[in-house]
Protein backbone atom coordinates (compact mmCIF):
# COMPACT_ATOMS: atom_id res chain seq x y z
CA UNK A 1 0.00 0.00 0.00
CA UNK A 2 1.12 3.54 -0.52
CA UNK A 3 2.80 5.28 2.37
CA UNK A 4 0.28 8.13 2.53
CA UNK A 5 -2.94 6.11 2.64
CA UNK A 6 -4.14 4.73 5.94
CA UNK A 7 -6.07 1.53 6.40
CA UNK A 8 -9.59 1.89 7.83
CA UNK A 9 -8.30 0.59 11.15
CA UNK A 10 -5.46 3.11 11.27
CA UNK A 11 -7.86 5.93 10.46
CA UNK A 12 -10.33 4.79 13.14
CA UNK A 13 -7.64 4.48 15.84
CA UNK A 14 -6.16 7.86 14.84
CA UNK A 15 -9.59 9.49 15.04
CA UNK A 16 -10.23 8.12 18.54
CA UNK A 17 -6.78 9.25 19.73
CA UNK A 18 -7.29 12.77 18.30
CA UNK A 19 -10.59 13.02 20.21
CA UNK A 20 -9.09 11.77 23.48
CA UNK A 21 -5.81 13.70 23.16
CA UNK A 22 -6.77 17.05 21.56
CA UNK A 23 -3.50 18.62 22.78
CA UNK A 24 -1.35 16.02 20.99
CA UNK A 25 1.25 17.59 18.74
CA UNK A 26 1.81 14.30 16.88
CA UNK A 27 -0.13 11.06 16.48
CA UNK A 28 1.00 8.23 14.24
CA UNK A 29 -0.79 4.89 13.94
CA UNK A 30 0.67 2.02 11.91
CA UNK A 31 -0.98 -1.35 11.33
CA UNK A 32 1.94 -3.75 11.83
CA UNK A 33 -0.15 -6.86 11.15
CA UNK A 34 -0.04 -6.47 7.39
CA UNK A 35 -3.29 -4.54 7.14
CA UNK A 36 -5.64 -6.95 8.92
CA UNK A 37 -6.02 -4.72 12.00
CA UNK A 38 -4.78 -7.22 14.56
CA UNK A 39 -1.75 -5.27 15.80
CA UNK A 40 -0.88 -1.58 15.83
CA UNK A 41 2.08 0.59 16.66
CA UNK A 42 1.10 3.97 18.07
CA UNK A 43 3.28 7.03 18.60
CA UNK A 44 1.79 9.96 20.49
CA UNK A 45 3.45 13.20 21.51
CA UNK A 46 1.30 15.22 23.90
CA UNK A 47 1.43 17.75 26.73
CA UNK A 48 -1.03 15.43 28.53
CA UNK A 49 1.89 13.12 29.35
CA UNK A 50 3.96 15.74 31.19
CA UNK A 51 4.98 14.71 34.71
CA UNK A 52 3.55 11.20 34.24
CA UNK A 53 5.53 7.99 34.32
CA UNK A 54 5.67 5.90 31.13
CA UNK A 55 3.32 3.28 32.57
CA UNK A 56 0.75 6.01 33.36
CA UNK A 57 1.07 7.43 29.84
CA UNK A 58 0.45 3.98 28.36
CA UNK A 59 -2.53 3.43 30.66
CA UNK A 60 -4.04 6.69 29.34
CA UNK A 61 -3.66 5.41 25.76
CA UNK A 62 -5.08 1.98 26.64
CA UNK A 63 -8.05 3.62 28.34
CA UNK A 64 -8.67 5.89 25.34
CA UNK A 65 -8.68 2.85 23.05
CA UNK A 66 -10.56 0.48 25.38
CA UNK A 67 -13.23 -0.36 22.76
CA UNK A 68 -10.79 -0.72 19.84
CA UNK A 69 -8.41 -2.91 21.84
CA UNK A 70 -11.09 -5.60 22.19
CA UNK A 71 -10.56 -6.45 18.50
CA UNK A 72 -6.74 -6.35 18.56
CA UNK A 73 -4.16 -9.00 19.31
CA UNK A 74 -1.43 -6.55 20.21
CA UNK A 75 -0.50 -2.92 20.63
CA UNK A 76 2.87 -1.19 20.76
CA UNK A 77 2.69 2.21 22.41
CA UNK A 78 5.33 4.93 22.28
CA UNK A 79 4.58 8.15 24.17
CA UNK A 80 6.52 11.37 24.60
CA UNK A 81 6.11 15.00 25.53
CA UNK A 82 6.93 17.81 23.10
CA UNK A 83 10.47 19.09 23.36
CA UNK A 84 10.68 22.73 24.57
How does pLDDT run across 50-69, given as a tens digit for each residue?
999 999 999 999 999 999 99
Domains and CATH numbers, the chain: 8-80 (3.30.300.90)
CB 76 within 8 A of CB 42: yes
What pTM, to 2 d.p., does this model score? Answer: 0.88
CB 38 within 8 A of CB 22: no
Checking if the pLDDT of 2 tops 60, the result is no
Dist CA 5 CA 56 (whole Å): 31
* pLDDT value, residue 42: 97
Minimal CA–CA distance to 30: which of 4, 55, 49? Answer: 4
Residues 6+ apart with CB under 8 A from 31: 7, 9, 10, 37, 39, 40
* pLDDT value, residue 4: 57
Amino acid sequence: RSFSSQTDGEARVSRVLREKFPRASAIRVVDISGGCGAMYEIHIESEDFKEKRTVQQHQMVNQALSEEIKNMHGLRIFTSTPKP
